[in-house]
Amino acid sequence: MDDLARAIDMTARLVAFDTESHKSNLPLIDFVEAYLREQGVAFARAPNAAGDKAAIFATIGPSEAGGVVLSGHTDVVPVEGQAWSSDPFTLRRDGARLYGRGAVDMKGFGAVALAMIPEFKKAALRRPIHILLSYDEETTCLGPLDMIARLGVDLPRPNAVIVGEPTSMQVADAHKSVTCLVTRVRGFEIHSANLHRGVSAVHVACRLVTELERIAAELREIGDPSGRFDPPFSTVHVGVIKGGTARNIVAKDCMFEWEFRGLPGADPMFARDRLAASVTELEKTVFADFPQCGVDIDTLVKVPGLAPQPGSSAETLALRLARRNSTIAVPYATEAGHFQQAGVPTVVCGPGRIDQAHQPDEYIEISELAACVDFMRALARELEA
């Protein structure tokens, strides 16, 4: 079986595990552990606090600093409510495409890395190749943090990290940050005929959402000085709003969930702090005679952006391996920013197109897996030197 055939077979094996983000990934991790043992590859496992998920870090070659980490996640987005043409957890080949949940986001990349282990072992590696498979990327991006904290402690500190999110094997050196928040408004409930004696949490929430719209407009005006992002500005978006009991009851409670996606270098708490200033004004006016009323703004998730590092070891290496002359920026967030914050040069480069991710009948082109195999072969040659 050649490298590409092994990669396709491994993709099928990984897709077969239902690792939707709200479910355990342990069966997949157990499979990977058994495969690594069979290959004689050293690994470390890091479970989450609940014990129902884990990350795994494997090392091929010498256990020393200066190698390269190939990082991917094992979780996938849910399939419920999507119209699939076939079982999403059975890889289906149709012509030049492979269909299945996670085929492109991003079990294909992980499969290529694992399938190439026999070739990595044949190479006379002077610097190691590491494979990190994590969890919860689709929800919090916190899955790799325990392993990242161990780099340079009891795990070798790499010289570069390549996160294999789908970029059509282009090298991305930048992406936005994501801050996810929930705002809860406490009003004063009363019959709507006596509206003036209560405080509607729904009305206050709508005022705050309108303020977020004003903040979003300001961000559009500031724009993206680099000219690399689409959309070319930081964004604010309210995705969920819930509140109230009945049409004729002044609402006691209302909440809305929202996010801020910031350009590299933007303060991830910019929109939150601006909204908090509006809350302070409400406390002086609307809430002045209602001490039981108020607003809480809670941050749920903060995923750091990836800032360009021109000429970094990761960028230089990935451009050479991918045979590219320039980098791109991507609109989605990844765990790459966490590696960068830990001081490790990082880029994003993986097979497939991001517009296929999260879709019914998600697929990856076999040619994209083949390009990733070539990339991995070139990596092995690079680390032999």
Average pLDDT score over residue span 171-180? 98
318 by DSSP, 3-state: which? helix
Average pLDDT, the chain: 97
Q: What is the DSSP string of 187-250?
A: -B--BGGGGGGSB-HHHHHHHHHHHHHHHHHHHHHH--TT---SSSS-EEEEEEEEE-S-TTB-
pLDDT at 59: 98
Q: Is pLDDT at 61 greater than 70 in this prediction?
A: yes
User: Measuring CA to CA, which residue among 48, 46, 18, 14 is closest to residue 32?
Assistant: 14
Residue 4 class from Cβ within 10 Å (0-12 exposed, 13-18 middle, 19+ buried)?
A: middle
Q: Tell me: do 36 and 143 sit in the same domain.
A: yes
Q: What is the CATH number of the domain that holds 163?
A: 3.40.630.10
Could you tell me the end-to-end alpha-carbon distance of the chain, in angstroms, rounded to an integer?
27
Q: Tell me: do 16 and 104 sit in the same domain.
A: yes
Q: Tell me: do 149 and 249 sit in the same domain.
A: no
- The domain boundary residue, chosen from 303, 322, 345: 303
Query: CA 142, 147, 152, 157: dihedral to nearest 10 degrees?
Result: -90
- The domain boundary residue, chosen from 253, 276, 303: 303
Query: CA 358, 363, 367, 371: dihedral to nearest 10 degrees?
Result: 30
The residue type at 273: D
- The domain boundary residue, chosen from 266, 282, 303: 303
The Cα–Cα gap between 41 and 312 comes to 29
Query: Does residue 144 contact residue 57 with C-beta atoms inside 8 Å?
Result: no
Q: Tell me: do 37 and 154 sit in the same domain.
A: yes
Average pLDDT score over residue span 223-248? 96
256 by DSSP, 3-state: which? strand
Q: Retrieve residue 209's tokens.
A: 């959402």
Task: Provide the pLDDT confidence category of residue 211 given band limits of 50, 70 and 90.
Answer: very high
Give the tens place of pLDDT for each residue, 75-97. 999 999 999 999 999 999 999 99
The Cα–Cα gap between 163 and 330 comes to 12
Q: What is the CATH number of the domain that holds 199?
A: 3.30.70.360
Quote the DSSP letter at residue 81.
T
Q: Is pLDDT at 295 greater than 80 in this prediction?
A: yes
Q: Angle at the Cα of 335 (from 99 to 298), degrees rounded to 5?
A: 110
Query: Does residue 235 contact residue 261 with C-beta atoms inside 8 Å?
Result: yes
Task: Provide the pLDDT confidence category of residue 169 given band limits of 50, 70 and 90.
Answer: very high
Q: Tell me: do 188 and 277 sit in the same domain.
A: yes
Domain count across the chain: 2
Task: Provide the pLDDT confidence category of residue 385 given band limits of 50, 70 and 90.
Answer: low
Q: Tell me: do 152 and 192 sit in the same domain.
A: no
- Quickly count: other Cβ atoms within 10 Å of residue 168's Cβ: 15
pTM to 2 decimals?
0.93
Q: Is pLDDT at 12 greater than 80 in this prediction?
A: yes
Q: Tell me: do 279 and 344 sit in the same domain.
A: no
Domain range for 369? 3-174+305-384
Q: Tell me: do 144 and 201 sit in the same domain.
A: no
pLDDT at 156: 96
Q: Is pLDDT at 198 greater than 90 in this prediction?
A: yes
Give the tens place of pLDDT for each residue, 300-311. 999 999 999 999
Q: In what order do the strands lie in the sheet with 253-262?
A: 235-243, 253-262, 177-186, 294-303
Average pLDDT score over residue span 322-344? 96
Q: Is pLDDT at 128 greater than 70 in this prediction?
A: yes
pLDDT at 104: 98
Phi, psi of 63 (to 5 degrees): -85, 80
The residue type at 67: G
Q: Tell me: do 317 and 340 sit in the same domain.
A: yes
Q: Retrieve residue 223's tokens.
A: 């724009």
Q: Tell me: do 193 and 281 sit in the same domain.
A: yes
The Cα–Cα gap between 203 and 192 comes to 13
Strand partners, 210: none
Task: Provide the pLDDT confidence category of residue 288 given band limits of 50, 70 and 90.
Answer: very high
Q: Tell me: do 157 and 183 sit in the same domain.
A: no
Q: How far is CA 140 from CA 7, 163, 272, in A?
A: 28, 16, 18
Q: Tell me: do 157 and 23 sit in the same domain.
A: yes
Residues ≥6 apart with Cβ < 8 Å to 130: 57, 58, 59, 60, 67, 68, 69, 70, 155, 156, 158
Average pLDDT score over residue span 19-32? 98
Angle between helix 366-384 and helix 3-15 axes, rounded to 10 deg: 120
pLDDT above 90: percentage of residues in the chain: 99
